Amino acid sequence: MDAYFVETLVDEDDALVEARESGRLTTMPQAEVAPNQGKLLSLLVRMVGATRVLEFGTLAGYSTVWLARAVGEGGQVTTLELEQQNATVAEKNLERAGVLDRVQIMVGRAAESAQRLIDAETQPYDFVFIDADKPSNPAYLEASLQLSRPGTVIVIDNVVRNGAVIDASSTDDRVQGVRSVLEKIAKDGRLDATSLQTVGSKGWDGFTILRRAR
Ligand code: DHB
Ligand code: MG
């Protein structure tokens, strides 16, 4: 079904195909979003009218290309990546896609990069995509909220993990990272959220989508 939807509805050009395939050159091959998921991110950014986007987890920059194209010429994407190796791959992909000038890649621990943005009193972001190491999800949400405004939309990837996330006693810190962030969202009166499961070329997984109301 994903192949059919992508063939029918998702306009991946050579730069996107190359970015997706170059995932193999990163420290985490195959972790990038599927083409129809990248298109979903792009649609959400446009629906929100976002011009300032923050991304946790760049890898090869596949989702970054979708986000950067969606913000348009006057827009800006800040993407946080731990590994220089991945940032180098991403930079080439962003250049090929014609959007490198509107993307800032910050290399290093994403929590520290985000703290630098907070310390610099960076203008709030309109849209945030959290898709990096899962144990840090609660920290990334906290940082995102400090870098947001009422109306900011946040999307978190990989909140299902083949159903593993239902296991409250899991010893997998990635599972606990997802569970903790969901509990944090539920307790935060400023946030409206829902989660959706996805099935497709990336297996069985899901997204959480939230909006900061105030
Ligand atoms: C993993 C991380 C991702 O962001 C993803 O989309 C798929 C898998 C992982 O940590 O295994
Ligand atoms: Mg992911």
Q: Tokens 């170059």 identify what position?
A: 22
Residue closest via CA to ligand 1's atom 9 equals: 31
Q: pLDDT, tens digit, for every residue of 176-192? A: 999 999 999 999 999 99
What is the C-alpha to C-alpha distance for residues 42 and 178, in angstroms, rounded to an integer? Answer: 23
Q: pLDDT, tens digit, for every residue of 88-117? A: 999 999 999 999 999 999 999 999 999 999
Q: pLDDT, tens digit, for every residue of 41-66? A: 999 999 999 999 999 999 999 999 99
Confidence label for 195 from pLDDT (cuts 50, 70 and 90): very high
Confidence label for 86 from pLDDT (cuts 50, 70 and 90): very high
Summary mean pLDDT of the chain: 98
From the CA of 161, the nearest ligand is: 1
Q: Which residues contact 10 (CB under 8 A, 6 or more apart)?
A: 35, 36, 38, 39
Q: Where are the domains of the chain?
A: 2-212
Third-level CATH fold of 2-212:
Rossmann fold (3.40.50)
Nearest ligand 1 atom, CA 132: 4
Q: Is residue 158 within 6 Å of ligand 1 at its C-beta?
A: yes
Q: Residue range 20-46: average pLDDT?
A: 97
Q: Is residue 157 within 6 Å of ligand 1 at its C-beta?
A: yes
Give residue 74 CA to ligand 1 midpoint distance, Å.
30
What is the C-alpha to C-alpha distance for residues 69 and 46, in angstroms, rounded to an integer? Answer: 10
Q: pLDDT, tens digit, for every residue of 151-181? A: 999 999 999 999 999 999 999 999 999 999 9
Give residue 155 CA to ligand 2 midpoint distance, Å.
11
The model scores a pTM over 0.95: yes
